[in-house]
Amino acid sequence: MCMVSGCAKAQNMDDKKVLIVYLSRTNNTKAIAEIIHQQAGGKLVALELQSPYPANYQETVAQVAKENETGYLPPLKTKVENIEQYDIIFVGFPTWGMQLPPPMKSFLYQYNLAGKTIIPFNTNAGYGIGSTFQTVRSLCPKSKVLEGFTMKGGIERDGQLLVIKGDNLIKAQAEVKKWLAKLPLNISNNGR
């Protein structure tokens, strides 16, 4: 029995277990993941690779292009325990080469997400989501994929790394709140 005010929302949220999985290289997508976590609760998990990408941007672009071409799925170091316990899974990623980054493809291939609600979110350098959201849909054919969130992040190519900070972070918090409130979830604005 809940004894605090605002209990009805908390109750709804407790009914649904939330997982937030994200890939982030320069921390913009991580900033959005943390905002979602503050507003929706749940468990926050960063995707890490067994063999990390090079620190060098151009080398990473070249490696990702090759992986996309061959369909290589980089093995993940991150393991999600008992994924079957989660009802709602937010999946966050940058746009890489106008596609879903290979590590997120690895994640979506590796776990059985049938019957779950999947919610994508993205940051990019200003060229948009590309095919990322569409690929999430096609890799989760037995899930309910809801409307995603996207926001401009950094431009690593030009040395612009984390930009979702300061005033931009405040703007991001407001935009995420608006987006979550529109989703049929009963988890937004729960006061966390």
Ligand X SMILES: Cc1cc2nc3c(=O)[nH]c(=O)nc-3n(C[C@H](O)[C@H](O)[C@H](O)COP(=O)(O)O)c2cc1C
Binding site for ligand X (CB under 6 A): 24-30, 57, 60-61, 64, 94-98, 123-127, 130, 153-156
End-to-end Cα distance, the chain: 19
Smaller CB separation from ligand X, 63 or 190: 63
Name which of 42 and 153 has its Cβ closer to ligand X: 153
Cα–Cα distance, 32 to 94 (Å, whole number): 11
* Gap between the Cα atoms of 48 and 111, Å rounded: 15
Kindly state the smallest distance separating residue 102's Cβ from ligand X, in Å.
Answer: 10
**Which lies closer to ligand X via its Cβ, residue 106 or residue 123?**
123
If the CB atoms of residues 41 and 103 are measured against ligand X, the closer one turns out to be 103
Cβ-closest position to ligand X: 153
Q: Per DSSP, what are the bridge partners of residue 117?
A: 88, 144
CB of 25 to ligand X, least distance (A): 3
Q: Could you tell me which residues are beta bridge partners of residue 94?
A: 123
Residue with tokens 């749940």: 42
Residue 76 C-beta: closest distance to ligand X, Å: 16
Minimum CB–partner distance for residue 91 and ligand X (Å)? 13
**From the CB of 160, what's the least distance to ligand X, in Å?**
8
Nearer to ligand X, 10 or 49 (CB): 49
Q: How far is the CB of 108 from ligand X (least distance, A)?
A: 17
Which lies closer to ligand X via its Cβ, residue 106 or residue 124?
A: 124
